[in-house]
Structure 1
Amino acid sequence: MGNTHPGATSPLGMVSACAYSGAYPTGYGRYTKNTEGLPEEMYDRLQASGFTHFQQSGTGAIRKYYNYVRVTPMVEPLDVLGQAWGLSDEVAEAGYYAATLGTGVRCELTVGAKVAVHRYTFPEARSARIVVDLSCGGLDIELGRTVPLRAQVENMGQGRAQGTVVMEGVPLSVYLEVDSPGWRPMLWYDRRLIDGGTRLDFDSIRHTTLRPFGMLFMGPATAGQTIEVRLGFSLRGCDQARRNLERECWPTQPAFEAVHAATRTRWADHIDRVRVEGGTPARRTVMATALYHSLIKPCFADDESPFWPTAGPYAFDICTMWDIYKTQLPLLAAIVPDRATDLLESLIRVCEEEGNFPNGYRMARGADRFFRQASALAHTALADAHALGRPGVDWSWALVHMVDDLRRLYGEDFFEHGVVHPITHTLDLAYAHYCTAQVARALNDRRLADDLERRSWQWSNAFDPDTGLLRDSDFYEGGKWNYSFRLLHDMAGRIALAGGDAAFVEMLDRFFGFGAAPVKQPGLRPSPVEMAAGFALNRFEGLNNEPDMEVPWAYHYAGRPDRTAEVVQAALAWQFGTGPGGLPGNDDSGALSSWYVWASIGLFPVAGQSLFLLNAPAFERATLRVGDEELVIETSGHRGTPIGADGIGDEPPTQYVQSATLNGEPLHTTHLSAAAVHRGGRLHLRLGTQPSSWGCETRPPSHSPPPEEAP
């Protein structure tokens, strides 16, 4: 399960809309909550009780699942609201979703940046309804329900209504119009109509006191009659929700086709920023889908922060930095640089308001920001942006927050002792000190930079010199083998600690299972004993396990880019496909899909070091539109690499780089600076089916301490 959904989205937009079954994890689908083994079915069919807004994309058990403002077209009495009807004839396109409910109503959804438009085609019905449930939230699983804290609903007449629900401390407002002449607008509570009521107010709602509530529009429908529902959303009140609707939907009425066309155009522009040629149709489909998934999150709600009054970028659904900082943020920095800068501005502002750079940030107020996962990851994206000379950030002010953030939470112990448990936070904090030192040095604060750099060499305190692995500790979603091969700023020192190139490669080979028997995957309801035995193998857990994402490229630093090619190309061929099971685990807000995009074009970003590593690409030619420039990656000797998991052709041959040129000049290294990638140009890779000596002698840069500073 990739844990994605087929609903309507806009590129990095605030709003999504999808059929709602209440199943884990996005509210769409048939499965129960699942974190280990195969998922169990919650329902035996695809079904929906309506259509909700704001969904996660690719995440797992994050506890806040949104699915707010459920809209349900009905031809039955209000009493049955909440029951589900079967879904058939589904259509999913970028910015568009459609399906037919078991009641015979054809349902179509599209979204803009801050709006959603629904179009329902009814069968003949004496009393048809459009029911809006403002109390809906979360999933129909244990501890999955989200209940409003407070709410207000108002019937404004003439097919208009508005309301605000405070969910997880955030006021979500909606202003809606229903294009249904002659239909009667009404409010309802506890599935009972409130005749003549124009306003409902609720305060101090609890799970035990909640009764569903909302508004509805009711009247007769002729066969084939179409009703359009237009919804504007805001985190700053109903007036701004109305303005958002006016901005994206008026003066065009009905608005569905206009909004759909505008969103389709935005998607076409974004998808066109990475173009590939060659490969099988299946591989090109997976590539386009991966790029699409990479551009759904984070959600940008400009001028919508509910926590500070000023205008400017506000981003949520950063789920989480631990997932996206290695692959997705560098992709956004390359193909949507303005949005990448907006994200950094939003993170800095959150740090001002809350006192920390968040590791994860949802549409919610309060703690629970995933601090167990990692520490100080925003520093990597900030360092990369500064190295590229990105405008729009006050870097002196950003540096203040970067330095202050290093002293918070686990950073206090690291500052005092040079090591902290969980031991992975030692690596995070040492790396963040390195990233912050680069910004400080560029801003001519040499004293600060020297101090930060000295502390960055304390990464070695996390390792046991007798084993070359991390010290025993608690680990988040992995073990010490998974975390022992991350790409540090001092890879030369890391490899030396392991005993040199040969010993390091041998450890990596063991991790990836070269020469080992296949691993049996867990099935339904795996026992704790079975899971413990699997983890005890100390093997690569898959690309959806964030610590493992970058590990294939660790071979580069030991002079074995051929091994990187073997691991990466096997993953591209066998772990991704075109069907519902086409992702090898959680997509995690586009992190896994971004990995696929980079790996497919032969590049991998080393977050925080303004560096890219090179590998044989999966396509004959790729064009990356980087800002106003284009980087063309072309090959000679490329052989087709079908997707093995789909049974298309034989096992794909591994391809290795034999030689390379950049803008016609020989390139003998397996890396490029981020500046070179962002300048654009032409990278030519000559490929073959046998390993070569290319890139084996000159290693990617390693930032080792001078002898007097070595730990």
Structure 2
Amino acid sequence: MLHDVDPFIGTAATSLPPASGLAATWWSPKPQVGNTHPGATSPLGMVSACAYSGAYPTGYGRYAKSTEGVPEEMLESLQASGFTHFQQSGTGAIRKYYNYVRVTPMVQPLDDLGEAWPLQDETAAAGYYAATLDTGIRCELTVGEKAAVHRYTFPASSSARLVLDLSCGGLAIEHGRTVPLRAHVESLGHGRAQGTVVMEGVPLSVYVEVHSPNWRQMLWYDRRLVEGGTRLDFDSIRQTTLRPFGLLFMGRALAGQAVEVRLGFSLRGCDQARENLRRECGEGEQSFDDVRTRTSARWADHLDRVRVDGGTPARRTVLTTALYHSLIKPCFGDDESPFWPASGPFAFDVCTMWDIYKTQIPLMMAITPDRAADLLESLIRVCEEEGNFPIGYRMARGADRFFRQASALAHTALADGHAAGIGDLDWSWALVHMEADLRRLYGEDFFEHGVAYPISHTLDLAYAHQCTARIARALGDKRLADELEARSRLWVNAFDSSTGLLRDSEFYEGGKWNYSFRLLHDMRARITMAGGDDAFVAMLDAFFGFGAGPVTQPGRRPSPTTMAAGYALNRFEGLNNEPDMEAPWAYHYAGRPDRTAELVNAALTWQFGTGAGGLPGNDDSGGLSSWYVWASLGLFPVAGQSLFLVNTPAFSRAALRVAGGEFVIETTGHRDTPIGADGAETTPPTQYVQSATLNGRPCETTHISAADVYRGGVLHVELGPEPSPWGRSARPPSLSDCRPEATRA
């Protein structure tokens, strides 16, 4: 599957065929761009490397900051002033953009540092990126988990240069720059150097080796060489006093001469950065190809954990690239936490739990359970050190809590992790922090009044109480479990029983319709509140645009009138908005899995494609791509409840490599997407589940347990062209199935 990865998918503004049918009724107000980058990455590794233009939000590309509609272009063409390390992936306004330690190959004077040159002949693969600057320098990048290797092939030049700018950080947009607070740079001679820059409270150290025989090496400051100097120290740097600084390697280059730059990174000092480089690159002088080969092998292993049969080449490319994007973040730096001295996992770029907890973390638990356990341990450690479970966590001092987005989402992942039995976490330790965290921020209002505003936080906190109750009950603390479960029933306070929708409130991206169809822990009571199955399905039908006409999408710089008219539709926003990601599966709880099949089929067909514009919106650190993976498999994880909903698979057969071996989803009656006369895909008719078996036994329900998936087995799904009785009567579990009905506080 490695050859199916296209890292350029999502790097440009959305450019998909005009939707037809159901998908044409959806409205997408959020930025219509994937915001990914094509740079070199390692699966869930600490370091990435990519061409740097300063554009939003990864440092790669041509776009300015955009919050709605079609993104505006900041640059007329692709260009780069060098190649940086640490990039976000598919995020929006994350407010921290990295792009540290810029390496610039030059045949111009140092005074031209910062000039950008057009990029030509770009190529990329998993673990590899290359482009040619219009100066004639061919530039290649690869990375390991904690190291990067660059290879630059120069034209003939009497004065070729490699310039390392250690002061670089952030983006070339308003308020996008990151300025070092303190710095130390030291030239060690013989092509070796090291330095530490403190960026937003984090000491990022780098150890550098440049293999360029007979080249001079010098320090520079403010674009002037520091003759004879071997150290630069800056005890205090401010926005107004910052002048660029770094290292320069200079000498004669023959035509076609390749020069390698090897960089080891650490958050715990230069010595550890040097050891990280040694561990990944060894002692050899020509390490680029070796590192690239090892990283490619790691990607091949990870991508092989989800395999599919059938499907068109385009669908296989989109699926494999979605899996690739799902495994770039979070970043893991084992034994690298700069905030606590203990060894163990340190995870950052959790950007954010709001984006990834429904889809990406469950995917990690299925196919990378060791890393999922490391993520949970790291989140618990952050809570212990800083007093809160973060909603977002980046490589910066202090958890970015993103408190407006949501509350207590880590509890959902912890409940799934406990049920799955991953790792060797001290769950009593975890439970202490989970319970305490429920009282923080909006949690205090929920505890005192049974409701919290913005009203979506009431749903978050009620759900988190239920997740925490599951762990407490499993650990034998019945008193605490009963108390938490009682509070989990207060989700009813978020709803207006006269409308069956959430109460009026402010909402983070979206409105009350977008948030009203979340998969709660008591969907039976939720549907009863809406007036029963038929009334609930009618509400869903209106939300998803069944029977509605096509809508016009917002373009570049949409007017307030255009946006207000779109929001007034109260319509599904496709997959360009996180609250809507799980809504198609709400039909399962009302006995209409056929509707889910129609919606997912429309989304897979019209909201994803090949090419740079192949994503409908921000990839959200892999959350959107993970949705595509699950939807293609015909499964959807109900995060926090340790179960999967079953739907029509997009491929005739798929296999997940899980802890217990292999979980296979196979079909009878599957039809691949048809191909038109011009070779393009045409609209596939929806296929519906007729019946299912799990390990040879009839599966009458529309769900299976997560344990069934993790232990391995075979789910066989029979498909047909018309809806069937399957799933009409048997519903996924709800809290009130075995407990008293939810009552208003």
TM-score w.r.t. length of structure 1 = 0.99
Match of 2:391 among 342, 359, 382: 359
**C-alpha separation between the residues in 2 aligned to 1:594 and 1:340?**
14
Residue 67, structure 1, aligned to residue 67, structure 2: no
Quote how far apart the aligned CAs of 1:56 are.
0.2
Residue 710, structure 1, aligned to residue 721, structure 2: no
Deviations 1:153-177 (A, max 9, x none): 1111110111111111101000000
After superposition, residues 76-475 of structure 1 pair within 5 angstroms as: 76-475=108-507
Amino acid corresponding to residue 476 of structure 1 in structure 2: Y
Unpaired runs of 5+ residues, structure 1, are none
Amino acid corresponding to residue 561 of structure 1 in structure 2: P
Match of 2:733 among 696, 701, 707: 701
- Contact 2:525 2:741 (C-alpha < 8 Å) held by counterparts: no
**C-alpha separation between the residues in 1 aligned to 2:539 and 2:674?**
30
Quote how far apart the aligned CAs of 1:368 are.
3.6
Residue 523, structure 1, aligned to residue 559, structure 2: no
Corresponding residue number in structure 2 for 1:594: 626
Quote how far apart the aligned CAs of 1:643 are.
8.6
**C-alpha separation between the residues in 2 aligned to 1:103 and 1:378?**
48
Match of 1:606 among 622, 638, 641: 638
Q: What is the aligned-residue identity percentage? A: 79
Amino acid corresponding to residue 406 of structure 1 in structure 2: L
Deviations 1:244-294 (A, max 9, x none): 001111133311111111100000000000000001000000000000000
- Contact 1:252 1:258 (C-alpha < 8 Å) held by counterparts: no
Unpaired runs of 5+ residues, structure 2, are 1-32
Residue 498, structure 1, aligned to residue 522, structure 2: no
Corresponding residue number in structure 1 for 2:10: none
Quote how far apart the aligned CAs of 1:708 are.
7.4
- Contact 1:48 1:86 (C-alpha < 8 Å) held by counterparts: yes
**C-alpha separation between the residues in 2 aligned to 1:24 and 1:210?**
22
**C-alpha separation between the residues in 2 aligned to 1:673 and 1:83?**
56
**C-alpha separation between the residues in 2 aligned to 1:370 and 1:709?**
30
- Contact 1:123 1:225 (C-alpha < 8 Å) held by counterparts: yes
After superposition, residues 617-636 of structure 1 pair within 5 angstroms as: 617-636=649-668
Quote how far apart the aligned CAs of 1:649 are.
3.4
**C-alpha separation between the residues in 2 aligned to 1:327 and 1:476?**
19
Amino acid corresponding to residue 580 of structure 1 in structure 2: A
Do the aligned partners of residues 210 and 347 (structure 1) sit closer, same or farther apart at CA in structure 2, a change above 3 Å counting?
A: same
Residue 41, structure 1, aligned to residue 73, structure 2: yes
Amino acid corresponding to residue 673 of structure 2 in structure 1: T
**C-alpha separation between the residues in 2 aligned to 1:580 and 1:693?**
41
Greater mean deviation of Cα atoms: 634-643 or 306-315? 634-643
Amino acid corresponding to residue 150 of structure 1 in structure 2: R
- Contact 2:394 2:400 (C-alpha < 8 Å) held by counterparts: no
Amino acid corresponding to residue 102 of structure 1 in structure 2: D
- Contact 1:413 1:419 (C-alpha < 8 Å) held by counterparts: yes
Deviations 1:657-706 (A, max 9, x none): 01111111111110000011111111111101111111111000011173
**C-alpha separation between the residues in 1 aligned to 2:203 and 2:132?**
32
Quote how far apart the aligned CAs of 1:709 are.
6.3
Amino acid corresponding to residue 547 of structure 2 in structure 1: G
- Contact 1:136 1:146 (C-alpha < 8 Å) held by counterparts: yes
**C-alpha separation between the residues in 1 aligned to 2:620 and 2:646?**
24
Which gives a bigger RCO, structure 1 or 2 (Cα 8 Å, sep 6+)? Answer: 2
**C-alpha separation between the residues in 2 aligned to 1:287 and 1:392?**
32
**C-alpha separation between the residues in 1 aligned to 2:680 and 2:721?**
20
Q: Secondary structure at the match of 1:322?
A: helix
**C-alpha separation between the residues in 2 aligned to 1:459 and 1:100?**
56
**C-alpha separation between the residues in 1 aligned to 2:497 and 2:265?**
55
Do the aligned partners of residues 112 and 125 (structure 1) sit closer, same or farther apart at CA in structure 2, a change above 3 Å counting?
A: same
Quote how far apart the aligned CAs of 1:642 are.
5.0
**C-alpha separation between the residues in 1 aligned to 2:444 and 2:535?**
34
Deviations 1:37-72 (A, max 9, x none): 111111111110000000000000111010000000
**C-alpha separation between the residues in 2 aligned to 1:709 and 1:506?**
23
TM-score w.r.t. length of structure 2 = 0.94
- Contact 2:525 2:742 (C-alpha < 8 Å) held by counterparts: no
**C-alpha separation between the residues in 1 aligned to 2:444 and 2:346?**
29
- Contact 1:25 1:61 (C-alpha < 8 Å) held by counterparts: yes
**C-alpha separation between the residues in 1 aligned to 2:586 and 2:594?**
11
**C-alpha separation between the residues in 1 aligned to 2:378 and 2:514?**
31
- Contact 2:155 2:256 (C-alpha < 8 Å) held by counterparts: yes
**C-alpha separation between the residues in 1 aligned to 2:422 and 2:177?**
41
Match of 1:536 among 568, 585, 595: 568
Corresponding residue number in structure 1 for 2:687: 655
Q: Secondary structure at the match of 2:445?
A: helix
Match of 2:581 among 549, 556, 561: 549
Q: Secondary structure at the match of 1:485?
A: coil
Deviations 1:193-240 (A, max 9, x none): 111111111122111111111001011111011100000000001111
Q: Secondary structure at the match of 1:26?
A: coil
**C-alpha separation between the residues in 1 aligned to 2:121 and 2:354?**
37
Greater mean deviation of Cα atoms: 92-101 or 38-47? 38-47
Q: Would you say how many aligned residue pairs link Structure 1 and Structure 2?
A: 710
- Contact 1:283 1:643 (C-alpha < 8 Å) held by counterparts: no
Amino acid corresponding to residue 260 of structure 1 in structure 2: R
**C-alpha separation between the residues in 2 aligned to 1:586 and 1:696?**
35
Calculate the aligned-residue CA RMSD, in Å.
1.1
**C-alpha separation between the residues in 2 aligned to 1:37 and 1:643?**
31
Q: Secondary structure at the match of 1:152?
A: strand
**C-alpha separation between the residues in 2 aligned to 1:578 and 1:275?**
19
Q: Secondary structure at the match of 1:172?
A: strand
Quote how far apart the aligned CAs of 1:179 are.
0.2
Amino acid corresponding to residue 589 of structure 1 in structure 2: S
Q: Secondary structure at the match of 1:707?
A: coil
